[in-house]
Structure 1
Amino acid sequence: MNPSTLQAQVIVDELVRCGVTDAVLCAGSRNAPLSFALHAADVAGRLRLHVRIDERTAGFLALGLALRSGRPVPVCTTSGTAVANLHPAVLEASFAGVPLLVLSADRPQEMVGTGANQTIAQAGIFGTAVRLTLTGPAGGSAADNGRWRSLTDRAVAAATGALGGPPGPVQLNLPFAEPLVPDGTGAAPAGRADGGPWTSVPPIGRDAPVLPLDPSAPTLVIAGGNAPAGLHDLPVPVVAEPASAPWSTAVRTGPWLLGAPAAASLKPAQVVVAGRPTLHRAVQRLLADPSVATYVLADPNGLPWTDVAGTAQAVGSLPPLTPDPSWTHRWRTADTAAAKALDQVMDDGTAPIGLRLARSVLAGLPDGGQLLLGSSNPVRDVSLAAVPRRGLTVLTNRGVAGIDGSVSTALGAALAHDGPAYALLGDLTLLHDTTGFVIGPDEPRPDLTVVVLNDGGGGIFGLLEQGAPEHAAAFERIFGTPHRVDLAALCAATGVGHLRVDVADVAAAVVPAPGLRVVEVLADRPSLRAGHAAVRTAVDAAVAAALHDAG
């Protein structure tokens, strides 16, 4: 057996022994040894292989598989720009703490800098975005069995956080010398007889001291992505983002209440930050308020704590909280009033379609369902309008909050989910990753419904400063970015089902169905800013009245 084939077979065998169940592959020449080894493992039923033609799509597919399963997922590419195309997914995995394994095939080191085809200096190409970069030797023999396996175990341990740092992406750069295809001779050396990894690495346990806060003070918990479990049913209000663990029992209208002019009596004396909140400016203003004491829960996986404004006084664990019941009662009174006003403006059609769509989708999904939210308006629409509920797994790409790769992330997460799977995306987010729908005839295909709000461009910018009337002359072209893509034709070209419905019919459209399909809902983008302002006015008035009546 030639050295490259031998090395690739040993590495793939060790990945399986480390618990890898899925792998993503892009075709290439230099990664041929790994391609044959991964295919053989797939045929033998040892792992499930997913082949894609676009490395950026492949990276996000692997990200979605790892995000949902919690297991490390390798993505394998050939050398050169193929590796560079993984950078967006690597960055997302880095900030979100997702165990992504980059298996980058490379030319032997002596070819770098010689002008050899498809050769760049790719070891370390991801910089500080990866937890660890390892480079294997080119060539070798059966005597190197333990060295190759140990290298693989170290990469998996770094990706899963077992080396002491937080989970995240790891690059295993693998130079392969020719010949690159199997020669049909010999067999790869065996691993441990018990089927386990060559080197067993235990998980890292982390304990944090109790936060030195005042348990009886008016306290508000702010929860974002990666917020730890165990924050349900606290005796204080929790304002949570949809993909955070405590969202299902959080204050529904929390983002509206934090920005309400009449909500001075809802201002806490102290805030506890859990995870990484990124969605709402009202939350960021509260965390920057010098009159509010800010504390941060330590991340159980060792990710850095969030402190954008530099106000955090301590990082640790949450003690039992014993606030005056009137504190929670005020928040409950305001939330009830705000929710009633919010539902009224959505029911009468005053609210933007995006908010109404978010409420309908979340209410219509079956228990056991999974929903991936696009990083632009969809995740904010759900946060602002949907009724929090149990029975759902909600995911987002909020590590770096890009819209790239969202279709592929949703596909990967759906392939790792045991139940009906959905995504709620904007039209530009869908268009940014149309190659996610390019799936070969022999590849695993999930049952996934992608609900797309199509307002013909970039709606979120209309809600930001650049969407103000004084910028109207330039806005549409450089921020609105209008397009004329026919989503039905796009779906037909890629073999994806398509259905266009009104927002009132969305609940019926998200009934579980087999296959991959897009449910398109049309919206009017120019009215978005005024629609949000109308909702803001209605909610503020209702909260002011409720708090006045409550004294």
Structure 2
Amino acid sequence: MGGDGAQGARAPRRARSALVNFNLLWAGAVADELVRAGARDAVICPGSRSAPLALALADRLRPHTVIDERSAAFFALGAAKASGRPVALLSTSGSAAAHFYPALLEAEATAIPVIAITADRPPELHGWGAPQQLDQHRLFGGHAFFADLGLPDPLTLSHMRATVARALHHGGPAHLNAPFREPLAPVPGALPEVRNEPAVHHVSARGMPDVRELAGILSRHPRGVIVCGPRDARDDFPAAVRELSRALGYAVLTDAASGVDEGVAHADLILRNEAWARALRPEAVVRVGGAISSKLVQSWVEQARCTIVIHERGEPVDPAHGATAVVAGPAAEVCKAIAASARAEGPLRRLFEGAERRARGALEVAFAEGDWGEPLVARETALAADLLYVASSMPVRDVDAFAPRRGRVLVNRGLNGIDGIVSSAAGAAAVTGTKAVALVGDLALLHDLGGLIAAARLRLPLTVVCVNNDGGGIFHFLPIAAHAERFEELFATPHGLDLEGAARLCGATFTRVADGRALRSALQRTTAGLQMVEARTDRAANVAQHRSLQAAVIAALGDPP
């Protein structure tokens, strides 16, 4: 994974705990291997059995103590996505680690290196009714690389270090199970002579694939687009995409979380104009990054005769099984290599640029004259944030459709769940030092109240913008909305709660807004620490507002040339 400027910052130096017993020496060796692999941050959940590891991690990495294990795991996920580095995640023994599961599933889907370390009871306490013990081996099944580190033993210290190093090289999430006998505290004990040296250094040397044949294929298909899906890395990919676009005349369609600012931001709206959708239909598609938010754009690009998928991590995005080729390699380098030998004078870049200008102008007029609603909240929040973490469901769709591309946008779109977004945003804020903004719906907020608590305890610079429409607004866009007799009870699920109480619980600054000016003022406020902005909207009016904005863009496009 790539990273941002915060990557170069090492964990703050502090006096290390004295290695007064072998458990502490063993735990220190685990932490040392994490540091050697690039880790700088550790998310630590309180517990007794994990005490040696907690002390070692806090000595060598930047510690973030989070009370709730579910929130802690999403905190680690957000931290790893934002920093581009592995992040350690520690729990005690028993049921605690089971709460890591949802975040590790998301980490698996997008190959994010969250390193879950679960302290465990020794073998003699298993199976005989001892408290706080269960079989923790492969607790997460095949969803995370697993290794048991064994009990601290002078004879196996080198093997343990090698095991940790190998797990960290695996890529994606890993689960290290670490049993300990007492003493768990730093009390004096025997310290045998041992060889405690770094493990073998793992290096990936995957070469650049030969893309000359693919460049030839794309050159023979001049009507093309480059589709940039969600991507966390901070590298020269935007410049590489620009280079490829110029070489072929391909349009660049950018998902809000792609990290690419230059390109077509409003493809979802443009392609709702049937005449333009036909005029812009591509022969070839180059896909990079994760799955895009717009179902309409996804269906449209699947019509192309030729699709090249550049695959970096996670699963290759080809749900219709129509790809011509899947190219494994770093996206920036692959794009540059194709651009070096591909040549075409495709028309779609110019056509899409014209359509984008008209769509952008229509939206500016519509939002200046239009009513308060969820699209406006998404647009204003995206415009104000330098680091925006967006929830799945309606928020990410609204940012993708209605907001210009600016700033850094992170999403948990591997599995499209709405849980853990506040915690993930808190993790991103913690490792970057940037004031982060989380855009969530009310149900996503209620799923992750633990994230508010974590952000408040750690005094993180986080603003949570909550679109409160008292339920699940996305269901109004689905066919089930026509069945009114059970719709509210089973799908919309209104809660009727006053969300200001959640802000008071965490000591957050709270603002309730009901128009664009108030929202902009709240987002510009330089409040330190945790801030919560509640934007109340009307679920029933939301569908009509979306349709009105779509119609405005369709009308502004006119007929294609």
The alignment's TM-score, normalised by the length of structure 1, stands at 0.88
Provide closer, same or farther for how the CA distance between residues 219 and 375 of structure 1 changes in structure 2, counting only shifts above 3 A: same
Once the 2 structures are TM-superposed, how far is the Cα of residue 189 of structure 1 from its aligned partner?
7.2
Matched, 1:119 2:133: yes
* Counterpart-to-counterpart distance in 2, 1:496 and 1:541: 43
* Counterpart-to-counterpart distance in 2, 1:355 and 1:80: 44
* Counterpart-to-counterpart distance in 1, 2:366 and 2:528: 35
Q: How does 1:74-473 map to 2 (within 5 A)?
A: 74-130=88-144, 132-141=145-154, 143-158=155-170, 167-185=171-189, 197-210=198-211, 211=214, 213-215=217-219, 216-226=221-231, 229=237, 230-232=240-242, 234-235=245-246, 236-246=250-260, 248-263=261-276, 264-289=278-303, 292-299=305-312, 302-316=313-327, 317-318=334-335, 319-320=338-339, 321-324=342-345, 326-350=347-371, 353-365=373-385, 369-389=386-406, 392-439=407-454, 444-467=458-481, 470-473=482-485
Kept in 2, the 8 Å contact 1:69–1:416? The answer is: yes
Deviates more, 1:132-141 or 1:265-274: 132-141
1:366-424 deviation digits (Å, cap 9, x = unpaired): xxx211111121111111111123xx221111111111111110000001114332121
Provide closer, same or farther for how the CA distance between residues 381 and 190 of structure 1 changes in structure 2, counting only shifts above 3 A: farther
Partner residue in 1 for 2:4 = none
Determine which of 37, 46, 64 is the counterpart of 1:50.
Answer: 64
1:416-459 deviation digits (Å, cap 9, x = unpaired): 11433212111111111001122498x64221111111111111
* Counterpart-to-counterpart distance in 2, 1:462 and 1:208: 46
Once the 2 structures are TM-superposed, how far is the Cα of residue 9 of structure 1 from its aligned partner?
2.9
RMSD value, Cα: 2.4
Once the 2 structures are TM-superposed, how far is the Cα of residue 3 of structure 1 from its aligned partner?
4.5
1:199-254 deviation digits (Å, cap 9, x = unpaired): 222244342231252325200111112387121362321112111132x1121211
1:60-107 deviation digits (Å, cap 9, x = unpaired): 111111111111111111122211110111011111221110101112
Larger helix proportion, structure 1 or 2?
2
Kept in 2, the 8 Å contact 1:10–1:189? The answer is: no
Percent of aligned positions that are identical: 35
Partner residue in 2 for 1:33 = 52
Partner residue in 2 for 1:510 = 523
* Counterpart-to-counterpart distance in 2, 1:191 and 1:433: 45
Question: What is the identity, as a one-letter code, of the residue corresponding to 2:413?
Answer: R
Kept in 2, the 8 Å contact 1:374–1:406? The answer is: yes
* Counterpart-to-counterpart distance in 1, 2:378 and 2:105: 28
Partner residue in 1 for 2:13 = none
Question: What is the identity, as a one-letter code, of the residue corresponding to 1:145?
Answer: L
SS of equivalent to 1:259:
coil
Provide closer, same or farther for how the CA distance between residues 305 and 188 of structure 1 changes in structure 2, counting only shifts above 3 A: farther
Partner residue in 2 for 1:161 = none
Provide closer, same or farther for how the CA distance between residues 149 and 327 of structure 1 changes in structure 2, counting only shifts above 3 A: closer
Provide closer, same or farther for how the CA distance between residues 14 and 260 of structure 1 changes in structure 2, counting only shifts above 3 A: same
Determine which of 498, 503, 527 is the counterpart of 1:486.
Answer: 498
1:103-127 deviation digits (Å, cap 9, x = unpaired): 0111223444444322222211212
Provide closer, same or farther for how the CA distance between residues 371 and 227 of structure 1 changes in structure 2, counting only shifts above 3 A: closer
Deviates more, 1:330-339 or 1:476-485: 330-339
Provide closer, same or farther for how the CA distance between residues 504 and 232 of structure 1 changes in structure 2, counting only shifts above 3 A: farther
The alignment's TM-score, normalised by the length of structure 2, stands at 0.86
Once the 2 structures are TM-superposed, how far is the Cα of residue 325 of structure 1 from its aligned partner?
5.4
Once the 2 structures are TM-superposed, how far is the Cα of residue 51 of structure 1 from its aligned partner?
1.4
1:341-384 deviation digits (Å, cap 9, x = unpaired): 2333222225x61211222222233xxx2111111211111111
Question: What is the identity, as a one-letter code, of the residue corresponding to 1:380?
Answer: R
Kept in 2, the 8 Å contact 1:222–1:238? The answer is: yes
Provide closer, same or farther for how the CA distance between residues 482 and 12 of structure 1 changes in structure 2, counting only shifts above 3 A: same
Determine which of 505, 510, 520 is the counterpart of 1:498.
Answer: 510
Kept in 2, the 8 Å contact 1:463–1:528? The answer is: no
1:288-309 deviation digits (Å, cap 9, x = unpaired): 33x532221132xx44321100
Provide closer, same or farther for how the CA distance between residues 529 and 3 of structure 1 changes in structure 2, counting only shifts above 3 A: same
Once the 2 structures are TM-superposed, how far is the Cα of residue 186 of structure 1 from its aligned partner?
5.6
Kept in 1, the 8 Å contact 2:251–2:263? The answer is: yes
1:262-292 deviation digits (Å, cap 9, x = unpaired): 2211111111111122311112212433x53
Kept in 2, the 8 Å contact 1:427–1:454? The answer is: yes
* Counterpart-to-counterpart distance in 1, 2:529 and 2:193: 41
Provide closer, same or farther for how the CA distance between residues 21 and 227 of structure 1 changes in structure 2, counting only shifts above 3 A: closer
Kept in 2, the 8 Å contact 1:134–1:151? The answer is: yes
SS of equivalent to 1:232:
helix
Provide closer, same or farther for how the CA distance between residues 439 and 387 of structure 1 changes in structure 2, counting only shifts above 3 A: closer
* Counterpart-to-counterpart distance in 1, 2:92 and 2:21: 19
Question: What is the identity, as a one-letter code, of the residue corresponding to 1:349?
Answer: G
Provide closer, same or farther for how the CA distance between residues 490 and 286 of structure 1 changes in structure 2, counting only shifts above 3 A: same
SS of equivalent to 1:71:
coil
Provide closer, same or farther for how the CA distance between residues 359 and 125 of structure 1 changes in structure 2, counting only shifts above 3 A: same
Partner residue in 2 for 1:163 = none
Determine which of 508, 529, 533 is the counterpart of 2:543.
Answer: 529
Once the 2 structures are TM-superposed, how far is the Cα of residue 192 of structure 1 from its aligned partner?
7.2
Question: What is the identity, as a one-letter code, of the residue corresponding to 2:227?
Answer: I
Partner residue in 2 for 1:162 = none
* Counterpart-to-counterpart distance in 1, 2:422 and 2:358: 37
